[in-house]
């Protein structure tokens, strides 16, 4: 079954056309009540809960995360679909070694026949528990640096709390020393992160207004949302970008060909 962004059933042809029509659409296939659905969804989304619901969620997060969140603070939540797993990485490395050997054997065979020597375009790299631990340690340092940067160093600009949760096995958390994950009781997934991997970052204001982001959203656009209480202009730009009046998008929703850095806080 194919659905548009309003959950209305459409044909496969309409679905493909819609998916390719606007960069603000993201098309996912998922299972609901044992039915496979392919739906047009929004990569970015503005929404609103009531101030009372914000306060209820704030108190729940205080209890579950063990941190203090003031009633006037924005809440920023980052979701990870998977955690680093040594066992998974070992299997990936085994595949890497197999691929390397196969490509090297093919390259060596070709080089025996032809005078022009083909270059080997893949390198074999080492992998062990020490390397894995270093990667996890660096990730933890980077994320803790983000928390410090936005909660403390930029206190005059941002009044917020940052939280992180994941959708992977709880047992994998033991690899992340000196880092505390938020335990989601299902509330965040039910209200905000409804469609699996679609969205990864939530900004929630005390008045209940919120913004969900998927894809590569620039850090300086996040900062605009965090600095400004009034999102009216950004919401207008979003609607104009959806309408098709601006084929390349408008404002922070303008299509950007530049790369997003690998290390970023949101």
* Burial of 95: CB neighbours in 10 Å, binned 0-12, 13-18, 19+: exposed
Helix axes 129-148, 86-113, angle to 10 degrees: 120
2 & 80 share domain: no
Give 30's strand partners.
37
Question: How high is the pLDDT of residue 80?
Answer: 94
The yes-or-no verdict on residue 256 having pLDDT over 80 is no
Measured CA to CA, the distance from residue 138 to residue 136 in angstroms comes to: 5
What are the tens digits of pLDDT across the range 71-127?
Answer: 999 999 999 999 999 999 999 999 988 988 888 888 888 788 877 777 777 788 888
58 & 166 share domain: yes
What are the tens digits of pLDDT across the range 152-188?
Answer: 866 556 889 999 999 999 999 999 988 999 988 899 9
- The verdict on residue 7 lying in a domain is yes
- The verdict on residue 120 lying in a domain is no
What is this structure's pTM? 0.88
Top pLDDT among 38 and 215 is at 38
- The verdict on residue 58 lying in a domain is yes
**By residue range, what is the domain housing residue 232?**
43-84+136-253
The yes-or-no verdict on residue 131 having pLDDT over 90 is yes
The yes-or-no verdict on residue 20 having pLDDT over 70 is yes
Residue recorded with tokens 């098709």: 244
């Amino acid at each position: 079954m194919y659905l548009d962004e309003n959950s209305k059933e459409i044909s496969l042809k309409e679905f493909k056309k819609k998916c390719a029509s606007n960069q603000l659409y993201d098309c996912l296939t998922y299972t609901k009540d044992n039915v496979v659905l392919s739906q047009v969804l929004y990569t970015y989304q503005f929404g609103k809960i009531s101030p009372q619901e914000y306060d209820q969620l704030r108190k729940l997060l205080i209890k579950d995360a063990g941190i203090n969140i003031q009633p006037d603070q924005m809440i920023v939540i980052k979701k990870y679909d998977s955690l680093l797993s040594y066992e998974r990485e070992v299997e990936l490395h085994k595949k890497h070694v197999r691929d390397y050997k196969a490509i090297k054997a093919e390259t060596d065979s070709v080089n025996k026949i032809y005078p022009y020597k083909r270059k080997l375009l893949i390198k074999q790299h080492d992998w062990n528990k020490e390397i894995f631990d270093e990667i996890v340690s660096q990730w933890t340092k980077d994320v803790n640096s983000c928390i410090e940067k936005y909660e403390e160093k930029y206190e005059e600009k941002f009044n917020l709390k940052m939280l992180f949760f994941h959708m992977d096995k709880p047992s994998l958390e033991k690899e992340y020393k000196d880092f505390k994950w938020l335990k989601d009781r299902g509330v965040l997934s039910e209200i905000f992160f409804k469609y699996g991997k679609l969205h990864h970052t939530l900004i929630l204001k005390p008045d209940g207004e919120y913004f969900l982001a998927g894809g590569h959203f620039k850090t300086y656009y996040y900062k605009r949302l965090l600095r400004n209480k009034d999102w009216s202009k950004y919401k207008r730009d979003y609607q104009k970008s959806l309408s098709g009046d601006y084929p390349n998008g408008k404002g922070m929703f303008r299509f950007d060909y530049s790369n997003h850095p690998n290390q970023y806080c949101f």
